[in-house]
Amino acid sequence: MEYGNRQLLAKEGLQDLILAMQALEYMVIGPKIEQEAIVYEEINSLEDLPRGWTDLQTAGTYRIKRRDDDAYFGYVVGPRSLKHYLHPPRQLVATATRDGQRWEFESIENIEQKYAFLGVRACEIAAMRVQDRVFLQGDYVDPLYAKRRESALIVAVNCTMAAPTCFCTSMQTGPRCTDGYDLALTELAEAFVIEAGSDKGEKILRDLPCSPVTTADLEQARKLQQQAVEQISKTMNPVNLREDLLENLNHDRWEETARRCLSCANCTMVCPTCFCSTVEEVVDLSGDNIERRRTWDSCFDIDFSYQNGSIVRNDIRSRYRQWLTHKLATWHDQFDQSGCVGCGRCITWCPVGIDLTEEVAVIREKKCSE
């Protein structure tokens, strides 16, 4: 089936979209101002959206600010990504219960919650696909991720602005959404251009109060999308990046970065593709009832590489190196793609403003002799 039949949705029509998703029993997750940031949260109505707000981002800082218009999606990306919901930070995966001398082992496979994501950007769709590759397309399928992912509805938004931390154009993941969504919106001054990208989306679109688009609307949409492209100033050349890093595992820069890096793991937590986790054993006092809980972990955690009484990556240098080289280099070996989608979150949310694109540039500039 061919989609892409574009239509015009009035700004208030967004409320109909939210209601339609709720009627289909989705929990709608969309942008909301919380703790002075625009984050993905449960949305009950249009009122919850950050209408007229934008974000200002640089390495290590993020501020929200009023816009001089009433745009609903006039901001870039926040600290949370879809992974917060599809691969949640804490997740019960299995239980063990003692029954006399025997043990009952169960794994959790059912999840009722269905999510509809509103406001998803192109880089976020790309990131979700990177996680699909990890959790769905190897020898083992994560049943909980699969359930959530399959039942999710994606309402994408084409970016009309970019932050100084964005570099999706380098990573070829945005700013325009090309596929992987059920519905996509482009926000114009007075309305949205809306199009379906799947049957699910098409069905919802059919019942929305839309009107035909004019060429002028499409031209405005194109211009706004172009505006986002033009605002992107950061770059990271992906060509040969894998080799450039793997051939420089002993570069002096790693040591220098280690003096700044706090090994706090923020970059890995906010990164929409980072997937590392640990299963913890939660035991009651009797020892008879056990929950095996998976929680987000990070290669920056010193105990992450614990092995037989010692730590393999026992300094910040090797931990930072592991992160960067995994993300940008060995990810290709493992999953045939880059682990970075260029969303810039790790740059903004690093409490000491370390910018991976700068690190890469320095390493490339003066390759190590060895």
Partner 1 sequence: MGSVRNSKNRKKPKLAVFKFASCDGCQLSLLNAEEDLVSIGEAVEISHFLEASSHVEVGPYDLTLVEGSITTPGDRERIQEVRKQSRVLVTIGACATAGGIQALRNWGDHEEFQQAVYPHPEFLDTLATSTAISDHVQVDFELRGCPVNKKQLVELITDILHQRKPRFPRHAVCLECKQSGTVCVAVTRGIPCLGPITQAGCGGLCPGYDRGCYGCFGPTAQANVSGLSHWLLKHDMPKTELVPLLRNFNAGATPFREEGNRLAREQDTELE
Partner 2 sequence: MPAESLREKTVSPWQIHPVRIVAAKAEVPGVITYRLKFVDQNVEDAYSVSPGQFNMLYMPGYGESAISVSGYDEQNRELLQTVRVAGNVTRALSRLNVGDELGLRGPFGQGWPMKAAQGGHLVLIAGGLGFAPIRSAIEAAICHRGRYEKISILAGARSPDQLLYREQYEQWKAAQVELRLTVDRATPQWNGNVGVVPLLVDRLKISNPATATVMVCGPEVMMWYTVKSAIEQNISVERIWLSMERNMNCAIGHCGHCQFGPAFICKDGPVLRYDRIASYLKIKGL
Q: What residues line the site for ligand FAD (CB under 6 A)?
A: 303, 306, 308
Pick from 128, 204, 228, 343: which binds ligand SF4 (CB under 6 A)? Answer: 343
What is the rounded CA–CA span in Å between residue 78 and residue 364?
29
Only segment of 30-38, 111-119, 201-209, 307-315 that touches partner 2 (CB under 8 A): 307-315
DSSP secondary structure code for residue 36 in this structure = T
Only segment of 176-184, 199-207, 221-229, 343-351 that touches ligand SF4 (CB under 6 A): 343-351
Q: Which does 340 bind (CB under 5 to 8 A by kind): partner 1, ligand FAD, ligand SF4, none?
A: ligand SF4
Residue 302 interacting with partner 2 (CB under 8 A): no
68 vs 104 by CB, closer to partner 2: 104
Give the tokens for residue 332: 């290709």
Q: CB 216: neighbour CB atoms within 10 A?
A: 9
**Beta partners for residue 96, in sequence order:** 105, 290
Residue 354 interacting with ligand SF4 (CB under 6 A): no
What is the rounded CA–CA span in Å between residue 162 and residue 126?
17
Question: What's the distance, CA 137 to chain centroid?
Answer: 18
201 vs 272 by CB, closer to ligand SF4: 272
Only segment of 113-121, 183-191, 237-245, 347-355 that touches partner 1 (CB under 8 A): 347-355
Residue 283 interacting with partner 1 (CB under 8 A): yes
Pick from 39, 120, 123, 236: which binds partner 1 (CB under 8 A)? Answer: 39
Residue 313 interacting with partner 2 (CB under 8 A): yes
Pick from 266, 296, 298, 320: which binds ligand SF4 (CB under 6 A)? Answer: 266
Helix 122-135 and helix 143-151, axial crossing angle in degrees, nearest 10:
150
Query: What separation in angstroms does the CA of 278 have from each of 93, 111, 334?
Result: 11, 20, 20
End-to-end distance of the chain based on CA atoms, in angstroms?
Answer: 55
> Scanning residues 188 to 247, which ones bind partner 2 (CB under 8 A)?
198, 246
Output the smallest distance, CB 296 to ligand FAD, in A. 14
105 vs 306 by CB, closer to ligand FAD: 306
The set of residues, in sequence order, having a beta carbon less than 8 Å from that of 216 and lying 6+ positions away, is none
Residue 333 interacting with partner 2 (CB under 8 A): yes
Q: How many residues does the chain have?
A: 370
Residue 146 interacting with partner 2 (CB under 8 A): yes
What is the rounded CA–CA span in Å between residue 191 and residue 196?
16
The set of residues, in sequence order, having a beta carbon less than 8 Å from that of 295 and lying 6+ positions away, is 89, 90, 91, 277, 278, 280
DSSP secondary structure code for residue 298 in this structure = -
What stretch of H or E contains 221? helix 215-231
75 vs 254 by CB, closer to partner 2: 254
Pick from 207, 302, 351, 367: which binds ligand SF4 (CB under 6 A)? Answer: 351
The answer to whether residues 234 and 340 touch, using CB atoms and an 8 Å cutoff, is: no
Output the smallest distance, CB 32 to partner 2, in A. 26
DSSP 151-198: H-EEEEE--S---TT--HHHHT--SS--SS-SEEEEE-SSEEEEEE-S
Residues near partner 1 (CB under 8 A) are 34-37, 39, 60-64, 79-80, 84, 89-90, 258-266, 269-270, 283-287, 295-298, 300-303, 315-316, 348-349, 351-353
Residues near partner 2 (CB under 8 A) are 93-94, 96, 98, 101-103, 105-109, 129, 132, 134-143, 146, 149-150, 198, 246, 249-250, 275-279, 281, 283, 287, 290, 292, 294, 297, 299, 304-309, 312-315, 317-318, 321-322, 326, 330, 333-334
